[in-house]
């Protein structure tokens, strides 16, 4: 691997831009994500920045049980994120449907049926520290080795 490729991987894995989408939550998980931005957890000290624009994102956080109205929209958001990219399911809802999972209802969990999920953070809701840990855990597996995978 060349020096330039090493530098690219290092920069990618140490400057992660996050976008998030709510596909049908109670807003409990959204509040925990917002807590990550506040001074107590201060997500930016880890080189993680939050954007609303998926075209500028590396990581997509997905919250909520997957409601049928998101069938095409979530795929569109996912397709707009440039490679390399990863999605993380936040909370029990996108993992299993959580409290919203009712047979024959308007939800269609898990979200991994609709887009590839690199990591899952269970909890109702999960703690901000667990959300931060999940983002940090994928940076080496998804982003640090990207240049090698392209060879």
**Binding letters toward ligand SF4, positions 55-74, x by CB under 6 A:** --------xx----------
What letter would DSSP give residue 25? -
Following DSSP, what letter does each residue of 95-108 receive, concatenated? HH-GGG--TTSSB-
Q: Assess whether the previous peptide bond of 84 is cis (omega < 30° from 0).
A: yes
Distance, CA of 64 to CA of 29 (rounded, Å): 8
List 18, 67, 70, 91, residue binding ligand SF4 (CB under 6 A)? 91
The stretch among 9-17, 75-83, 88-96, 132-140 that binds ligand SF4 (CB under 6 A) is 88-96
Position 111 contacts ligand SF4 (CB under 6 A): no
Q: Which two tokens stand for residue 143?
A: 């982003």
Q: Measured at CB, which residue is nearest to ligand SF4?
A: 28
Q: Which two tokens stand for residue 135?
A: 């983002």
List 41, 125, 135, 138, residue binding ligand SF4 (CB under 6 A)? 125
Which residues make up the interface to ligand SF4 (CB under 6 A)? 25-26, 28-29, 63-64, 91-93, 98-99, 124-125
């Amino acid at each position: 691997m060349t020096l330039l490729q090493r530098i690219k991987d290092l920069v990618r894995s140490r400057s992660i831009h996050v976008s998030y989408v709510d596909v049908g939550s109670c807003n409990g998980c959204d509040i925990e994500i917002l807590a990550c931005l506040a001074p107590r957890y201060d997500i930016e000290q880890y080189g993680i920045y939050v954007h609303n624009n998926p075209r500028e994102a590396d990581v997509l956080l997905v919250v909520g049980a997957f409601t049928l109205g998101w069938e095409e929209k979530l795929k569109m958001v996912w397709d707009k994120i440039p490679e390399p990219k990863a999605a993380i399911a936040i909370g029990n809802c996108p993992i299993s449907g959580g409290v919203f999972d009712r047979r024959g209802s308007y939800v269609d969990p898990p979200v991994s049926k609709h887009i590839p999920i690199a990591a899952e953070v269970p909890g109702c809701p999960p703690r901000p520290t667990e959300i931060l840990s999940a983002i940090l855990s994928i940076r080496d597996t998804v982003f640090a080795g990207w240049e090698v995978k392209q060879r």
